[in-house]
Amino acid sequence: MSAQPSPQTTDAAPRPVTTRKRPLLDRIPVISHLRQSVGLQRVMLVLGLVLTVVFVVVAALAPWIAPYSWAQRSVDGVDFGTTQPPNPLNIWGTTVSGFDVYSRVIWGAQTAFLAIVAAVLFSIFLGIFLGLVSGYFGGWLDRILVVIADAIYALPSLLLAIVLSIAISGGRSTLQSGILSTALAITVVFVPQYFRVVRAEVVRVKAEPFVESARVIGVPTHRILIRHVLRNSTRSIPVIVTLNASEALLTLAGLGFLGFGIEATSAAEWGYDLGRSVADASSGIWWTSIPPGVAIVLVVLGITLVGESLNDLSDPRLRRRRRAGGAA
């Protein structure tokens, strides 16, 4: 009898499971939200991004866009004059102090941008640090920080900014002291928001298996906080940043409007120019108040549209509902 050939058994090694990596554009906060948006939500987000980008570009290129300095009253020996209507020399007219309105509005974008950046950076770093420490370690430190955060919510940002402005510069601010007082006021008021969001995420993340595993194998605490906990606890920060940036601008404008902001000879500030033009409005002089007022409205509108759009798109239920509406 001929031996039957034994069937060949091929024990192929199992193929490694490859995780599909998300494209880079889907990991960048604003761009990923823009790709997910549809319909009216996309229109609002695009409009907000356009207004915000224009504001940032004007602030960065202010020395090249503005024809004159923020405190310049004459050119080539010719005085501008006070409250002059729009003319070839001053295309948006002049203020009651003899400054060029167009130049003041352009330079004011730079001042507003610096104040927003300083206030947001201070709030982010302090809020994230306190939220990270409080949520991870807990105990009596967590209870004390939560009570302090609840107490700070009762402080109005504008009133606190006025007090800090008087304490820092006696109510007569230069560019640095004016931005510093505004940034400190916004920092104190908005740190609890970052603190609460980060703390809640840290409490959730520290109970995950990968954090427990890192703790068991002896990974240092600072490495766990930075590499594992922090990276997974700041997903909502971009939304809060956009929502708080507009409040920083309004606080700066409120200080200037009330006379506690930056002096006209130190820097251009929209709130200061708007406050000085209140008396001009009753005399029919519109060109001193409309440009800075419209600038404040457009910038706040742009930042708010971006923040609200990101907030809606970060909610999976709203995003799914909008996609269903767009498909229908």
* pLDDT value of residue 2: 47
Q: What 3-state DSSP class applies to 173?
A: strand
% residues pLDDT > 70 (the chain):
81
> φ and ψ at 94, to 5 degrees?
-125, 160
Mean pLDDT of 201-223: 78
**Length reported for the chain:** 328
Q: Judge whether residue 221 has pLDDT over 80.
A: no
In angstroms, the CA 183 to CA 213 distance is 40
Tell me: the pLDDT tens digits for 159-211? Answer: 877 887 777 766 556 677 777 777 787 788 788 888 888 888 888 887 777 77
| DSSP character string of 264-302 | TTT---HHHHHHHTHHHHTTT--TTTHHHHHHHHHHHHH
Report the Cα 71 to chain-centroid distance in Å.
28
For residues 120 and 177, the model is more confident at 120
Choose the weakest-confidence range: 30-39, 196-205, 287-296: 30-39
Q: Judge whether residue 7 has pLDDT over 90.
A: no
In angstroms, the CA 10 to CA 6 distance is 12
Q: Which amino acid is at 81?
A: G
In angstroms, the CA 120 to CA 56 distance is 15
CB–CB of 112/299 below 8 Å?
A: yes
Mean pLDDT of all residues in the chain? Answer: 79
* pLDDT value of residue 102: 93
* pLDDT value of residue 300: 93
| DSSP character string of 76-144 | TTEE--SSPPS-SSSTT-B-TTS-BHHHHHHHHHHHHHHHHHHHHHHHHHHHHHHHHHHHHH-HHHHHH
Q: What 3-state DSSP class applies to 74?
A: strand
Task: Give one word for 13, left, alpha or beta, with left for phi > 0 and alpha for psi -120 to 50.
Answer: beta
H helix or E strand, kind and range, residue 262: none
* pLDDT value of residue 56: 94
Q: Judge whether residue 58 has pLDDT over 90.
A: yes
CB–CB of 260/100 below 8 Å?
A: no
> φ and ψ at 100, to 5 degrees?
-75, 125
Q: Which amino acid is at 215?
A: R
CB–CB of 277/253 below 8 Å?
A: no
Of 258, 241, 222, 221, which is closest to residue 314 (Cα–Cα)? 241
